[in-house]
């Protein structure tokens, strides 16, 4: 029954994602991802190396946006399945009373895959650097649990497992340098996993992991992009980020300020459920079990009421604060029960700490609220929930019932928010049911349907600007946060693909770096300028390093009503 339920839950959200793949487009973050993938091997100024992972794939798919979204779904399901199976095979050794059938492992792995739908709760449908980091970390943790299984049986560790762990480090760190903390966590878990075999085994595995890192780096350098060309611009951009909007003091202050209200809200709404879990884990007498069961029913009823009333089942960025609370509460229930019931020995607790902490480590280094990002990795927390449920003694009836109900309820929440985030509340877009029109004459958007008014605006814009941007690759400067407009015009950005209005120094530095040796375009192919706001005096300073003046060297192409509501300036 558990296997069937998890498979149905996965089928529901995965089917919705496939249905949504050909609908909608966000001009901001999603536009940035797609633009960087479109020109992955020529425009290297970026803060993330995700373009070197998805750029070649996007090219192989013929720059088909819908196909790239389906590719993302395949990787999400596949990686969560690998992690789930590795975790359950390790857990089998610690649950001697578990049913002997392989269906036991299959049910647990299916639950982990179903929980993976949280990745679609509020992010764009197109894969980004968050995908590279999370999927890489889960693969690394799968290798850790596979090694732990061999070590606890006293068997020799296959050489390919630590080697594979090392290979996963390369794309993860390429996508987000702050993920070094996350992969250090995975490495520590690997040491714990190998500790039964002694120091020589740990040292040997460490050497093979380093060999995997070296091999992955060499493969990237030779087959994808030379690191001598990739790393220097990434270092420069990340240095700018660390000095301004992504400085550690700024991030930590933001994390603290924004996380406390979310924790307080979760405690207030789901406090009764947490209390019920604690009582259920502590009691031993049958009569007290019955009382704990009643408290558990009340706690679950209160949790359901809050989730349904407060938007916890809605999905999408608009509801993210609401559905973080029930998913966080599910993890807290697992921790409360595990601690109160004193589950596992020391090594087992340390290994389970890895998936418990992984979502928080994954969230570090972004400008978003950590808990908002952490729930994307809910599958790791689901693995902990499974370990707690299966680790409880059969006499702990109330604790098992409450924890199992929380696990089932959390999968229902994930299914709802995944379908909501993919279809009803797509990232910064209209509901996909309203995205019914194509944008004629816009090759970049051929595979997606849009809101009819949006499609008309993009078609008008492309038709007007086409004489100035054909053939593909004309430089386009879109101010601000309009990487998607550059994509629509099949153009290339100047400097970074992302122009952040809250960090003008970073935008200015990127444009200046592009022209440090003179403008990289012919005299008759100066950039087209697209703005969604009035021109400002500081825009003159932005273009000055390239020898351009937006007032002197440009003219208005057409009234904004004829160019999709945007101001388009072409070289005079």
Strand order from edge to edge, sheet including 528-531: 476-479, 528-531, 567-571, 554-556
Reported as type and span, the H/E element at residue 405 is helix 397-419
Of 203-207, 273-277, 283-287, the one with minimum mean pLDDT is: 283-287
Q: Does pLDDT of 238 surpass 70?
A: yes
Kindly report whether the global pTM for this prediction surpasses the value 0.85: yes
DSSP one-letter code for 422: I
19-61 residue pLDDT tens: 999 999 999 999 999 999 999 999 999 999 999 999 999 999 9
In contact, 50 and 36? CB cutoff 8 Å? yes
Which residue in this structure is represented by tokens 């790393």? 231
In which element (H, E) is residue 335 found? Answer: helix 320-341
Question: Do 283 and 306 form a contact (C-beta atoms < 8 A)?
Answer: no
Task: Tell me the β-bridge partners of 533.
Answer: none
| CA 438 – CA 379 distance, rounded (Å) | 35
β-partners of residue 479 are 531
With the C-alpha atoms ordered 259, 117, 436, 36, is the resulting torsion angle positive or negative?
A: positive
Is the pLDDT assigned to residue 285 strictly greater than 80?
A: no
Q: What share of the chain is helix, strand, coil (3-state, %, to 5)?
A: 70, 5, 25
In this predicted structure, the answer to whether residue 130 has a pLDDT above a threshold of 70 is yes
Percent of the chain residues topping a pLDDT of 70: 99
- Distance separating alpha carbons of residues 48 and 36, to the nearest angstrom: 10
Instruction: Please tell me whether residue 438 adopts helix, strand or coil conformation.
Output: coil
| Nearby residues of 509 by Cβ (< 8 Å), 6 or more positions away | 236, 240, 495
The least confident of 4-18, 179-193, 257-271, 480-494 is 257-271
Q: What is the pLDDT of residue 110?
A: 98
pLDDT tier at 504 (50, 70, 90 boundaries)?
confident
Residue 357 and residue 349 in contact, taking contact as beta carbons nearer than 8 Å: no
Closest CA to 34 of 458, 493, 469: 493
Buried (b) or exposed (e) across 481-506, using 16+ Cβ within 10 A? bbbbbbbbbbbbbbbbbbbbeebbeb
pLDDT for res 287: 64
d(CA 176, CA 179): 5
Residue range 387-445, pLDDT digits in tens: 999 999 887 888 899 999 999 999 999 999 999 999 999 999 999 999 999 999 999 99
Q: 137 with 358: CB under 8 angstroms?
A: yes
pLDDT for residue 372 is more than 80: yes
Angle at alpha carbon of residue 175, lines to 89 and 481, rounded to 5°:
130
Q: What is the mean pLDDT of residues 149-154?
A: 95
Supply the angle between the helices 129-152 and 378-391 in degrees, to the nearest 10: 30
Residue among 468, 488, 503 nearest 565 (CA): 488
| Buried-exposed string 403-421: b where 16+ CB fall within 10 A, e elsewhere | bbbbbbbbbbbbbbbbbbb
User: CA 514, 515, 521, 522: dihedral to nearest 10 degrees?
Assistant: 180
pLDDT exceeds cutoff 90 at 302: no
| Residue 237 in this model has a pLDDT that exceeds 80 | yes
């Amino acid at each position: 029954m558990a296997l069937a339920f998890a498979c149905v839950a996965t089928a529901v959200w995965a089917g919705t994602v496939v249905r949504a793949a050909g609908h909608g487009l966000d001009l901001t973050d999603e536009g940035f991802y797609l633009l960087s993938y479109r020109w992955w091997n020529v425009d290297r100024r970026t803060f993330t190396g995700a373009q070197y992972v998805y750029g070649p794939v996007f090219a192989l798919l013929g720059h088909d946006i819908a196909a790239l979204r389906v590719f993302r779904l395949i990787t999400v399901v596949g990686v969560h399945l690998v992690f789930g199976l590795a975790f359950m095979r390790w857990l089998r050794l610690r649950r001697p009373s578990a049913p002997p059938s392989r269906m036991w492992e299959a049910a647990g792995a299916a639950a982990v895959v179903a929980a993976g739908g949280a990745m679609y709760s509020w992010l764009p449908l197109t894969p980004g650097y968050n995908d590279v980091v999370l999927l890489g970390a889960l693969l690394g943790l799968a290798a850790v649990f596979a090694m732990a299984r061999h070590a606890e049986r006293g068997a020799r560790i296959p050489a390919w497992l630590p080697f594979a762990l090392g290979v996963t480090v390369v794309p993860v760190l390429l996508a987000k340098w702050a993920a070094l903390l996350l992969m250090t966590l995975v490495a520590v878990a690997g040491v714990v996993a190998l500790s039964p075999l002694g120091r020589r085994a740990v040292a040997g595995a460490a050497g093979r992991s380093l060999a995997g890192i070296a091999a992955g780096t060499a493969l990237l350098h030779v087959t994808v992009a030379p690191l001598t060309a990739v790393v220097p611009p990434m270092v420069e951009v990340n240095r700018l980020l660390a000095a301004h909007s992504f400085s550690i003091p700024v991030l930590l202050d933001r994390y603290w300020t924004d996380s406390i209200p979310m924790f307080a809200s979760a405690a207030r709404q789901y406090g009764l459920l947490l209390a019920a879990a604690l009582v259920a884990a502590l009691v031993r007498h049958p009569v007290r079990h019955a009382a704990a069961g009643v408290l558990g029913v009340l706690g679950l009823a209160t949790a359901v009421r809050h989730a349904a009333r407060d938007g916890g089942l809605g999905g999408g960025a608009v509801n993210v604060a609401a559905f973080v609370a029930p998913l966080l509460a599910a993890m807290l229930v697992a921790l409360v029960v595990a601690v109160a019931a004193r589950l596992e020995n020391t090594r087992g607790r340390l290994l389970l700490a890895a998936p418990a902490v992984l979502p928080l480590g994954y969230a570090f280094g972004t400008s978003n609220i950590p808990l908002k990002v952490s729930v994307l990795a809910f599958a790791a927390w689901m693995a902990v929930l499974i370990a707690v449920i299966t680790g409880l003694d059969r006499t702990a009836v109330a604790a098992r019932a409450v924890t199992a109900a929380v696990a089932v309820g959390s999968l229902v929440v994930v299914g709802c928010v995944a379908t909501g985030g993919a279809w009803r509340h797509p990232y910064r877009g209209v509901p996909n049911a309203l995205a019914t029109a194509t944008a004629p004459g816009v090759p970049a958007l051929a595979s997606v349907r849009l809101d009819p008014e949006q499609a008309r605006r993009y078609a008008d814009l492309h038709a007007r600007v086409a004489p100035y941007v054909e053939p593909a690759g004309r430089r386009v400067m879109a101010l601000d946060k309009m990487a998607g407009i550059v994509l629509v015009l099949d153009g290339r950005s100047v400097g970074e693909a992302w122009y952040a209005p809250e960090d003008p120094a970073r935008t200015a530095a990127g444009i200046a770096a592009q022209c440090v040796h003179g403008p990289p375009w012919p005299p008759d192919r100066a950039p087209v300028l697209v703005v969604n706001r009035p021109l400002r005096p500081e825009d003159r300073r932005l273009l000055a390093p390239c020898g351009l003046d937006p007032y002197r060297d440009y003219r208005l192409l057409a009234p904004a009503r004829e160019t999709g509501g945007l101001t388009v300036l072409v070289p005079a």
